[in-house]
Amino acid sequence: MTSTLLIVQFVLAIIITITILLQKSSSIGLGAYSGTNDSLFGAKGPGNFLTKATMVLGLLFVINTITLGYLYNQNKLESAIDNVKTDTLIPATPKETTAPAAPTAPVVPAEPTSK
């Protein structure tokens, strides 16, 4: 789930960047909303399609960021060891095996005694 949302985050960032770069630039740059004679949205209302698309994409970006933060915080308490299946790694009961018999010493023929 988090990997999918992370991919969506990158795609949203790229699309937001493209929509911002496609918008009409003004000669005064960022000062357009800070004290000129224009109102915040201008005389025509809240703008065209690109402005609305940028606002929607920005909202989706923020929601996705908050969701990713929440999910990564939930995963912080888990460990990779919690997901390991111990049934396949360690047998539940050890197999009882009998030890092989100790090897016997080879029989050496006795030396003949001569009298």
The pair of structure tokens assigned to 10 is 């990158």
Note the pLDDT tens digit of each residue in 44-87: 544 578 888 899 999 999 999 999 999 888 767 777 777 777 66
| pLDDT band with cut points at 50, 70 and 90 for residue 107 | confident
**Three-state DSSP class for residue 67:** helix
**Three-state DSSP class for residue 53:** helix
pTM score of the predicted model: 0.50
Burial class (CB in 10 A: 0-12, 13-18, 19+), 51: middle
Q: Can you say whether the dihedral through the CA atoms of 91, 76, 9, 48 is positive or negative?
A: positive
| pLDDT band with cut points at 50, 70 and 90 for residue 94 | low
Rg of the Cα atoms in the chain = 38
